[in-house]
Amino acid sequence: MSEATQGLKLFNTLTGGVEDFLPLDPAGKQVKMYVCGPTVYDDAHLGHARCYVTWDVLYRFLKFQGYQVKYVRNVTDVDDKILNRAAERGEAPTQLAERNYLSFTQDMQALNVLPPDEEPRATHHIGHMLEGIQVLINKGSAYVTPDGSVYFRVAAKQDYGKLSKKPLDDLKTGARVEVDPDKESPLDFALWKAVPLSDPNGWESPWTGAGANKGWGRPGWHMECSAMNHAVFGEQIDIHAGGADLIFPHHENEIAQSEAWTGCTPFSKYWLHNGFVNVSGEKMSKSLGNFATIKTLLARYDANVIRYFLLTNHYRMPVDFNDEALRAAENWVVKTKRVLNETKAVLALEPAAVYAQVSECLADAVGQAEVESLQSLVQDMQADLNTPKALATLNVTLGLLRSSQEESDTLATRFRSILTMLNLLGFELSLFFERDGVSSTLPLDDIQTTYQTLTGTALAEGQSPQEGLSELVRLRKAAKASKNWSQADAIRAQLSALGLQLLDNKDGTTSVEKDGLEVIRV
């Protein structure tokens, strides 16, 4: 909308409560949003899908509300995981990282996740990391060990732990202790890790250590994000988001080093975190054998199915990937396709006109304000991105759309508002509409085999898939008329196995649909 709407509320992990969203910008228009991006050592997985779909929806909604958003999502392209995986496969770390980055980008496009405005890479900001580390050393917030490594001195940050809200003693117990006898405290974390000169995956630093290191090393993971944030945004940002698994130690450490570096508090005004991902009731883990990639998921379900499933869960709650829930989401997509395409036919819209409707909706703030259903969805989203409630609002409106097929005065307006809702939630409209060639993809061989199995005779030579389907529908109608329910059920089951759905209409006709679109009507 053309004017920022006052009313957006978000749960801030830093304060532990839902707050009014008020950007740092005095005019309240500019929003600086940073999301922790992938460490590109492998294919993206379900956790990435949950994370980046969530923040994609926030990005879309902020822009719709009239904010001028600068969205940055980094790429961690230097990391021990990358180096270890490259060594296992006998390839250069840069080659592995680039391949996995391109794979990640393809996955995000397939999920209809909008690209960020900037996508800094860690290896492009080594100089900025060195600069920040030296400032921390000068301030007494960091110290150099004999081998040339540099650690952040947690004791120098009195409010350390304010994000995870745990006492220092508890954090020490849960800390991933880095093995270095020269650390002052188990909680101190690496800003720079010295490596031997023989290691090709290092950079020169000013902190010359004893032995063969000579200042050669690599940045710590936490410092990478702080430096990229500082390079792109400066001292402070509005929103820092990521998965709940990053709260400690990654985001806790980012806050400590960033605020010590600049002297500005808060480093980020709002800290947002999406919930954990489970697979069939168990936390996602490679060791449990339930680690699935986005590509694996997309081979079974389209992007809209995955989106609907994810958005039926509030972003802060855990989400359990399981086939039953995904099949339910798939049913929703099929039904939505049916309603939208029926309406498109009534309005005599070509696919290009459908997208024009969306553009008009997004640009027409005044017109949209008059659409009660869209107002309701916006209110749902303003309440800490309550996407389950927003989807319920959308579903009510879809039901109204279907019941108003003959009310031409409200049909077009309601259709436009639904397209806008779908767009705000990030659904891929082309998956609803650009399937006009669906009948050409009908499985002719399977239809012929099914017909012969059920009748004992073959289709006539030259018959099209639609004609074959029509024959089967007529056969089923005759079976129902003679109360031969077993044969009628067998025909429905056989067609269902081919991905075809039979619908008996009130006017006595029977439709056959594929992926929610009508193929024939008999």
SS3 for 324-373 is HHHHHHHHHHHHHHHHHHHHHHHCCCCHHHHHHHHHHHHHCHHHHHCCHH
3 state DSSP class of 192: strand
Strands (DSSP E) contained in 407-452 are none
The shares of helix, strand and coil residues in the chain, as percent rounded to the nearest 5, are: 50, 15, 35
SS3 for 249-284 is HHHHHHHHHHHHHHCCCCCEEEEEEECCEEECCEEC
Better-scored residue on pLDDT, 321 or 90: 90
Look at residue 443 in the predicted model and tell me its pLDDT. 64
Percent pLDDT > 70 in the chain is: 86
Average pLDDT over residues 123-132: 97
> Tokens at residue 400, please?
């109204």
Average pLDDT over residues 89-96: 95
> Tokens at residue 277, please?
């991902």
DSSP per residue, 111-130:
TTPPPPSB--BGGGGHHHHH
Q: Average pLDDT of the chain? A: 86
Residues 6 or more apart from 24 whose CB is under 8 A from it?
32, 236, 237, 238, 269
Look at residue 3 in the predicted model and tell me its pLDDT. 43
Answer for the pair 414, 374: CB distance below 8 angstroms, yes or no. Answer: no
Query: Which stretch of 31-35, 298-302, 362-366, 404-408 has the lowest confidence by average pLDDT?
Result: 362-366
Look at residue 389 in the predicted model and tell me its pLDDT. 97
Indicate the CATH number of 9-295 among 3.40.366.10, 3.30.70.330, 3.40.50.80, 3.40.50.620: 3.40.50.620
Answer for the pair 307, 425: CB distance below 8 angstroms, yes or no. Answer: yes
The region that residue 280 occupies, defined by phi over 0 for left and psi between -120 and 50 for alpha, beta otherwise, is left
- Cα–Cα dist 475/488, whole Å: 8
Answer for the pair 20, 8: CB distance below 8 angstroms, yes or no. Answer: yes
Backbone phi and psi for residue 294, each to the nearest 5 degrees, phi listed first? -60, -40
Of the candidates 253, 269, 31, the one whose C-alpha atom is nearest the C-alpha of residue 132 is: 253
Query: Which stretch of 263-272, 423-432, 433-442, 450-459 has the lowest confidence by average pLDDT?
Result: 433-442
SS3 for 454-474 is HHCCCCCCCCCHHHHHHHHHH
Query: Which stretch of 39-48, 197-206, 428-437 has the lowest confidence by average pLDDT?
Result: 428-437
Look at residue 323 in the predicted model and tell me its pLDDT. 84
Answer for the pair 360, 366: CB distance below 8 angstroms, yes or no. Answer: no
Look at residue 166 in the predicted model and tell me its pLDDT. 81
DSSP 520: E
pTM (two decimals)? 0.83
Q: What is the CA radius of gyration of the chain?
A: 28
Look at residue 407 in the predicted model and tell me its pLDDT. 64
Average pLDDT over residues 430-447: 63
Query: Which stretch of 130-139, 375-384, 477-486 has the lowest confidence by average pLDDT?
Result: 477-486
Number of neighbouring beta carbons within 10 Å of residue 270: 23
Residue 174: pLDDT over 60: no
SS3 for 222-235 is HHHHHHHHHHHHCC
Look at residue 241 in the predicted model and tell me its pLDDT. 98
- Cα–Cα dist 359/357, whole Å: 5
Backbone phi and psi for residue 14, each to the nearest 5 degrees, phi listed first? -65, -40
| Count of CA atoms in the C-beta half-sphere (13 A) of 249 | 23
Percent pLDDT > 90 in the chain is: 56
Query: Which stretch of 108-122, 150-164, 336-350 has the lowest confidence by average pLDDT?
Result: 336-350
Q: Hey, where are the domains in the chain?
A: 9-295, 303-310+319-433, 438-521
